[in-house]
């Protein structure tokens, strides 16, 4: 049966606990959700599936009152409602349990559970006895047996989840959203979470379960909804679909044609990384990067790609591993040494790690190149302007003046400033971490075109990206990482979206990743 056309009969007579209808939401330059619907039923787990950027987190933020939809309606038990604030959503019985729990480390478990609605005694003061006793009861219902008076920071991440769930029970939540709840959990803890979800189901809660891991989805979910590019692609019962169906719905689209990838003669190896490992973040990273090559690093968020890159440029230290640049052994102890050697890293979080807001554009660009532009310890502003002008014009930056604050530029133009900053150091290897995340389509195309141009000029590019079309459209080769290890290597010719998703999510089937 085609899942896209699946008519769901078993739950159609049951009323949803909450339903979103025709929800649209746009941000400047980006349409995050267009006309999506989602229904969550009491006593049922719905898995929300989609690539990064499919609009899952925007939807969660609308459900929890953090964003307001531009169009569409929220129905709560058949009554149309709005969630103007996070508090309104919480009062209506919608709670979210996030990947990183949003609780207070310095407060006790019981205080965390009852924060904002603690039981009062007749003097209007907090009734501590009742608070702790009620907390104990709720913890028991959540399947936890620890003392509610201990401080939250003494608990591990799994137990913090239990506290978050107890809190959800305390406000009598009807809808529980779990956003990648297992990301930080051990194998045993995940099984405890499954048991807990079963209990929540038995209590009639409607559960939205967001995960990239297919084994989890098929283990715990009753229903599924697939999002792609901000639109709902399909929904139905898990029992009626296979993993392959879901993967196809997630990625199914034409790719490749819109990407301005140039055919470049790949040259000699420039960068060789062997045996890179870190005690907690990644291990056994080996690869070669050649001249003129774009090497894609694909994986789920948290697969250890950025952590490895940061270690490669000397922000963190690996516990073992060797790097060769142009055949010579290189020891990188700091980002300054990496820049000097010709390896630069354009970080993922543009706001936090990229542009320095409040500083003029030209100063942002010349920051890592000051040794070039200054003479005998003094800056030469004319040289700085010349360098900044050269690279901003190559990137087609639109700004009134190079003297203006970077903060006044749009996201896409800020990204161009950050890339110009690194190109101005004349690197041999450039590492781009999520180079087009959160920027508008026009700027994306410019960044891709420029990336292609760079490779054509003989630069070697490492592109970390969680967007399959970008990875497939731009890479000569792809390395897939999963849980800190290399999970697959693919040549451009053998790339398919399904292979990438399988390797990244760890789906064990015939078409895995062969070693390249």
Partner 1 sequence: MAKLLKNRELLLVVAIAVLLAIIALRFPAFVAPSNLARVYNDTSILVILALGQMAVILTRCIDLSMAANLALCGMVAAMLNNFFPGLPIPLIIFAAMALGGFLGAINGTLVWKLNIPPIVVTLGTLTIYRGLIFVLTNGKWINAHEMSDPFKALPRLVVAGMPVLSWLSFLMIALMFLVIGRTPLGRAFYAVGGNPHAAVYTGIDVGRTRFFAYCLSGTLAGLSGYLWVSRYAVAYVDIAAGFELDIIAACVIGGISIAGGIGSVAGAVLGALFLGVIKNALPVIDISPFAQLAISGTVIIIAVAVNARAERRKGRVILKKAEAV
Q: Report d(CA 251, CA 491) in Å as an integer.
A: 19
Contact between 358 and partner 1 by CB under 8 A: the answer reads yes
Q: 90 or 363: whose CB is closer to partner 1?
A: 363
Question: Which range of residues in 108-116, 165-173, 206-214, 340-348 is near partner 1 by CB under 8 A?
Answer: 340-348
Contact between 437 and partner 1 by CB under 8 A: the answer reads no
Q: 214 or 391: whose CB is closer to partner 1?
A: 391
Specify the residue for token string 């746009």: 26
- Based on the number of CB atoms within 10 Å of its own CB, is 317 exposed (0-12), middle (13-18) or buried (19 or more)? exposed
φ, ψ for residue 467 (rounded to 5)? -105, 115
Site for partner 1 in 415-434 (CB under 8 A): 421
Contact between 353 and partner 1 by CB under 8 A: the answer reads yes
- Exactly one of 14, 71, 102, 370 binds partner 1 (CB under 8 A); that residue is 370
Q: Are the beta carbons of 263 and 288 closer than 8 angstroms?
A: no
Question: Which range of residues in 242-250, 367-375, 463-471, 474-482 is near partner 1 by CB under 8 A?
Answer: 367-375
Q: How far is the CB of 33 from partner 1 (least distance, A)?
A: 18
Distances (CA, A) of 137 to 94, 144, 195: 21, 10, 18
Contact between 28 and partner 1 by CB under 8 A: the answer reads yes
Instruction: Return the closest-CA partner of residue 175 out of 212, 210, 200, 143.
Output: 200
Contact between 367 and partner 1 by CB under 8 A: the answer reads yes
**Geometric angle at alpha carbon 58, from 56 and 63, rounded to 5°:** 95
Q: 237 or 356: whose CB is closer to partner 1?
A: 356
Question: Which range of residues in 84-92, 160-168, 205-213, 336-344 is near partner 1 by CB under 8 A?
Answer: 336-344
Q: CB-hemisphere CA count at 13 Å for 449?
A: 11
- Exactly one of 315, 330, 445, 449 binds partner 1 (CB under 8 A); that residue is 315
Contact between 371 and partner 1 by CB under 8 A: the answer reads yes
Contact between 379 and partner 1 by CB under 8 A: the answer reads yes
φ, ψ for residue 209 (rounded to 5)? -115, 115
- Exactly one of 239, 334, 426, 491 binds partner 1 (CB under 8 A); that residue is 334
Site for partner 1 in 82-141 (CB under 8 A): none
Distances (CA, A) of 506 to 214, 303, 498: 8, 11, 12
Please list, in sequence order, all residues whose beta carbon lies within 8 angstroms of the beta carbon of residue 289, skipping any fewer than 6 positions away: 269, 270, 271, 272, 273, 295, 429, 460, 462
What is the contact surface with partner 1 in residues (CB under 8 A)? 28-29, 313, 315, 334-340, 345, 347, 349, 352-359, 363, 367-368, 370-371, 374, 377-379, 405, 407-412, 421, 440
């Amino acid at each position: 049966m085609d899942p896209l056309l699946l008519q769901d009969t078993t739950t159609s007579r049951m009323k949803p606990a909450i339903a979103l209808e025709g929800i649209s939401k746009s941000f400047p330059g980006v349409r995050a959700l267009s006309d999506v619907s989602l229904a969550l039923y009491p006593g049922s787990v719905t898995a929300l599936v989609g690539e990064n950027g499919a609009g899952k987190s925007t939807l969660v933020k609308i459900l929890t009152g953090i964003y307001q939809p531009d169009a569409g309606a929220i129905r709560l038990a058949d009554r149309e409602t709005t969630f103007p604030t996070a508090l309104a959503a919480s009062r209506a019985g919608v709670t979210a349990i996030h990947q990183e729990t949003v609780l207070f480390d310095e407060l006790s478990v019981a205080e965390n559970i009852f924060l904002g609605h603690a039981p009062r005694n007749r003097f209007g003061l907090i009734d501590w006895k009742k608070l702790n006793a009620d907390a104990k009861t709720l913890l028991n219902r959540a399947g936890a047996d620890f003392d509610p008076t201990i401080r939250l920071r003494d608990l591990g991440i799994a137990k913090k989840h239990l506290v978050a769930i107890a809190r959800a029970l305390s406000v009598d939540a009807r809808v529980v959203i779990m956003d990648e709840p297992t990301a930080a959990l051990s194998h045993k803890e995940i099984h405890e979470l499954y048991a807990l979800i079963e209990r929540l189901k038995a209590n009639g809660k409607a559960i939205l379960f967001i995960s990239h891991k297919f084994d989890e989805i098929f283990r715990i979910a009753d229903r599924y909804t697939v999002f792609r590019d901000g639109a709902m692609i399909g929904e139905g019962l898990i029992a009626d679909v296979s993993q392959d169906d879901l993967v196809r719905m997630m990625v199914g689209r034409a790719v490749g044609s819109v990407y301005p990838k140039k055919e470049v003669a790949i040259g000699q190896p420039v960068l060789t990384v062997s045996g890179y490992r870190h005690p907690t973040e990644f291990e056994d990273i080996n690869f070669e990067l050649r001249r003129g090559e774009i090497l894609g690093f694909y994986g789920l968020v948290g697969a250890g790609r950025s952590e490895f890159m940061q270690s490669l440029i000397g922000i963190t230290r690996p516990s073992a591993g060797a790097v060769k640049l142009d055949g010579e052994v290189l020891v990188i102890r700091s980002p300054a040494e990496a820049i000097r050697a010709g390896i630069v890293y354009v970080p993922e979080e543009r706001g936090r790690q990229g542009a320095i807001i409040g500083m003029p554009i030209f100063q942002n660009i010349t920051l890592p190149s000051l040794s070039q532009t200054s003479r005998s310890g003094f800056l030469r502003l004319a040289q700085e302007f010349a360098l900044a002008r050269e690279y901003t014009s190559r990137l087609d930056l639109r700004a009134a003046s190079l003297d203006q604050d970077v903060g006044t530029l749009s996201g896409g133009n800020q990204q161009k400033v950050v890339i110009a900053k690194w190109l101005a150091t004349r690197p041999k290897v450039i590492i781009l971490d999520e180079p087009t995340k959160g920027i508008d389509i026009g700027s994306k195309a410019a960044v891709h075109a420029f990336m292609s141009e760079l490779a054509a000029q003989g630069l070697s590019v490492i592109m970390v990206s969680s967007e399959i079309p970008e990875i497939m459209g731009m890479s000569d080769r792809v390395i897939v990482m999963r849980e800190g290890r290399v999970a697959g290597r693919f040549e451009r010719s053998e790339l398919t979206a399904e292979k990438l998703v399988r390797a990244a999510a760890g789906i064990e089937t015939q078409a895995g990743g062969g070693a390249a």
